Structure 1
Amino acid sequence: MRYSKEHKQETHARIVKKASVRLREKGAHGIGVADLMKDAGLTHGGFYAHFDSREALVIEAFGYAMDRSIAHWRKKAEQTPIDKRLAAIVDSYLTPSHRDDLGHGCAIPALSAEIARESPKTRKAFAAKLEQMIEMIAAQIPDVPRKTARKQAMASLATMMGTLVLARVAGSGELSDDILGAGREAVLERVAATKAGAKKAAGKKLAAAARH
């Protein structure tokens, strides 16, 4: 039976979506192609009609998951005053519900350790999406130079994602909740200190210019 181009595109998208959930739940090597196709309601034999290799599916599934995170952050930012956008993103990220939902959560805490061992092609694709995440977060840090905002975005993401990993390791009790809280405070306090430092430096620069 021949299917339309639209049908094939819809099927392809369904496989990627299902795979992105299962890979985050089970890990990049915790589930095989046959199981991924079964989750999508298809046979193993149909896999190569959509993907050249398992690696190709993994790359698309990672990209889909990371795009979803960026879209969620962008929507959260658009609904929040600019000076509170980063806090809104951090607060929505470091939550018990995100901690407990691996399959629909951020791909980086779930899969980054495995990605580091993947092929250069997979790591390159992952790094490109990570770059988009960094730029997205940097855009939510106003009133500081772009280079400073980018540096803070990197530190913020590293803290957020490391916090989520530790919180998941700790389970779902008081220790885990405390880790989430400590991570939120660490990110927001660091950014606040950076903004204060930038404001102070700008004031000194203006004062020096006035004296001359």
Structure 2
Amino acid sequence: MRYAEDHKAQTHQRILQEAAARFRRDGIGATGLQPLMKALGLTHGGFYAHFKSKDDLVEKSLRCAVDQLHASRAEKLAEDSSTQAFIDLYLSTAHRDHPEKGCPLPTMASELGQRGQPSEITDELINRMLATLEAGMPADGQSSDKSVMLMSGLVGAMVLARSAKDPALAERILETTRDQLKQLIEG
């Protein structure tokens, strides 16, 4: 059986997309190469035809996750790109319940730091989020500092909400943080 000319590229992209989703949902350490490849109907040995190592996959799938996140965010915030809308989108129940489609920071940031492997892509994502948040705030000389507080609150609240077993507690974390971060913008 002959494969299409772009078969390898398509397979590579499928692996990246699946890994990006699994790393965001389960974390880097909990995502094994064998189960990942099996889920795609591929062999573990075939992995090395596409990537040098798991670290290589982590870096490339993080890029894929960031690209997916920006495309999704741009679409969802097309009509209202205010910082308040960004906060509502980030601290939504949908984002909490579907980490595989959302921001990689709540799942992957601490793990990358603990592994001693911070990524330039993480820095890029952080800087882009900071710029997005700052752009939607009044220029009061404190917007840069406020954007750091906002982003820290967003990511931290998402980590806590995802880790809470009680759905009411998880929702309270999201709701309270949304309200307090919006007050930070106004004040």
TM-score (ref. length: structure 2): 0.88
Q: Report whether the alignment pairs 1:133 with 2:129.
A: yes
What's the CA shift string for 1:17-65, capped at 9, x where partnerless?
A: 0011111222111122111212222111111211111101011112222
Alignment: residue pair count = 187
| Aligned mate of 1:166, from 147, 150, 160 | 160
Residue equivalent to 1:58: 58
Higher gyration radius (CA): 1
Q: Report whether the alignment pairs 1:181 with 2:175.
A: yes
Q: Report whether the alignment pairs 1:107 with 2:101.
A: no
Name the amino acid aligned to 2:83: L
Q: Report the Cα distance in structure 1 between the residues aligned to 2:169 and 2:126, rounded to whole angstroms.
A: 29
Pairing 1:69-80 to 2, within 5 Å after superposition: 69-80=69-80
Q: Report the Cα distance in structure 2 between the residues aligned to 1:13 and 1:140, rounded to whole angstroms.
A: 34
Summarize the Cα distance change of 1:75–1:157 in structure 2 as closer, same or farther, 3 Å threshold: same
Summarize the Cα distance change of 1:106–1:57 in structure 2 as closer, same or farther, 3 Å threshold: same
Question: Which runs of no fewer than 5 residues in structure 1 stay unpaired?
Answer: 194-212
Summarize the Cα distance change of 1:44–1:138 in structure 2 as closer, same or farther, 3 Å threshold: same
Question: Which runs of no fewer than 5 residues in structure 2 stay unpaired?
Answer: none
Residue equivalent to 1:192: 186
Q: Does the Cα contact within 8 Å between 2:69 and 2:103 map onto a contact in 1? A: yes
What's the CA shift string for 1:71-129, capped at 9, x where partnerless?
A: 2332333211x5xx211111122122221223222211112211112344x43332222
| Aligned mate of 2:150, from 152, 156, 172 | 156
- Identical-pair percentage: 31
Q: Report the Cα distance in structure 1 between the residues aligned to 2:6 and 2:62, rounded to whole angstroms.
A: 23
Q: Does the Cα contact within 8 Å between 1:59 and 1:126 map onto a contact in 2? A: no
Q: Report whether the alignment pairs 1:87 with 2:84.
A: yes
Q: Does the Cα contact within 8 Å between 2:23 and 2:100 map onto a contact in 1? A: yes
Residue equivalent to 2:14: 14
Q: Report the Cα distance in structure 2 between the residues aligned to 1:3 and 1:137, rounded to whole angstroms.
A: 46
- Which segments of structure 1 move beyond 6 Å, counting only runs of 4 or more? none
Summarize the Cα distance change of 1:15–1:28 in structure 2 as closer, same or farther, 3 Å threshold: same
Structure ranking higher in helix proportion: 1
Summarize the Cα distance change of 1:163–1:124 in structure 2 as closer, same or farther, 3 Å threshold: same
